[in-house]
Structure 1
Amino acid sequence: FRTGYRLLCDDVRVAALTQVGDPQRLDSKRQEVLAFIAAAEQHVHLFPPSEYQTLTASISAMLDCLEQARLASQDPIPTPTLSVSHTEYNGRRGRPSIQIDRDFLEAALTLRGPAGVASVVKCSARTIRRRALDLGLVEPGPPVYRDVD
């Protein structure tokens, strides 16, 4: 039992560190721990009382550790997310305008076109183009039509 216990301790330690948030693998390891304690309970007469008490406390700690590893990645991220745009209400009729961070928009437009940036900001490509024009990041296109006298 002692050799099996040491191997189980090492396996649980490795699983808790490397399989964080993987409930299937951690549940498999949990089943191994439960099978080990079930086998120990069948042979409780072979253990000195203090050693059996230590064993049950260690098994309980292993199960807690595996449960914490299982739930670790399901916790929400404690840091606030980066906001690159916000809705600005101007008090007039119509839709509120979407304001986009200048530095983000400038960097994003060097990597992708307006449609690619629009999917990140969750607005239309036309809005991206308008904000880029407002901020002077792109040049306006040629006029669509000209008045001929």
Structure 2
Amino acid sequence: YEGTNGIQALDLMGRKIAANGGAFLKLFAADVDAFIAEQGSADGMAEFVEPLKAAMANLNELTEWVLTQAQSNPNEIGAASVEYLHVFGYTAYAFMWAKMAAVALPKASEDFYKAKLATGRFFFKRLLPRYVSLTEAVKGGSEPLYGLDEAMFETA
């Protein structure tokens, strides 16, 4: 990818994550973990908190995987960046939707909050699971990106 998506992805992975050993991620994770601890046993929140908890655990593990791989192969940073950006994004959206659900559940009889809950449920069931395949793509590593040599790009 080139353009904004690729630039933002490289900035996140290279400058915001790898350059400081994941310190910025740890700040985000601390906020998510505090929310999970606070809302984990609240009525009706399990359908939001449990997938958020799984997504955050995945993001933490994926970050460690990329940083470990990059120690021996710096190409892993660039190779992982776009999919990593999306994994991070889905996890961040899950956090925001879970926070909205915590506000909406006590007011679920009102149409506005009913719509928020329906949209949040859609996100958690239909969009958030995409982080699983994106994680697998990251773990495919950088090698497939470098499998073609320059001569293979020449036309006959």
Higher helix share: 2
TM-score band w.r.t. shorter chain: 0.3 to 0.5
Higher relative contact order (CA 8 A, sep 6+): 2
**Higher fraction of strand:** 1
TM-score relative to the length of structure 1: 0.34
